[in-house]
Amino acid sequence: DVKVTQSSRYLVKRTGEKVFLECVQDMDHENMFWYRQDPGLGLRLIYFSYDVKMKEKGDIPEGYSVSREKKERFSLILESASTNQTSMYLCASSRTSGGAYEQFFGPGTRLTVL
């Protein structure tokens, strides 16, 4: 069974803390994505990566950075967490060709910043 796993389902952090969210996929996919999901706003793309060590900004990259040192792992970093980063964070992966660009999602991490 193919899988995208995220390191935590729930996370509570304090303002100013550095936060790491990790995502691992076992499908050998080239592409990996980080989204945040807020009510009524759908999924908004933060960053994506199409290869190891490669990254591109999405629609809302401010306040975030990413790291992809291995093909199966994509990390999202909040350098200094703020309350407006309280949200659901979803990781996804997809193949570059074939598969109709289907994205496979992890279960999400609900982050609360106090």
CB of 83 vs other proteins, minimal distance in Å: 22
Task: Find residue 22's DSSP bridge partners.
Answer: 75
For other proteins, give the closer residue by CB, 73 or 110. 110
**Residues 6 or more apart whose Cβ sits within 8 Å of residue 40:** none
Q: By CB under 8 A, tell whether 100 contacts other proteins.
A: yes
Q: Extract the tokens encoding 27.
A: 């499908």
Residue 40 interacts with other proteins (CB under 8 A): yes or no: yes
Q: Which two tokens stand for residue 91?
A: 């990781």
Q: Is 106 in the site for other proteins (CB under 8 A)?
A: yes
Confirm or reject binding of residue 11 to other proteins (CB under 8 A). Answer: no
Q: Which of 43, 61, 63, 77 is in the footprint of other proteins by CB under 8 A?
A: 43
- Using the minimum distance from each CB to other proteins, give the nearer residue, 2 or 114: 2
Determine the Cα–Cα distance for residues 97 and 42; give it in Å rounded to an integer. Answer: 25
Residue 108: φ, ψ to 5°: 95, 155
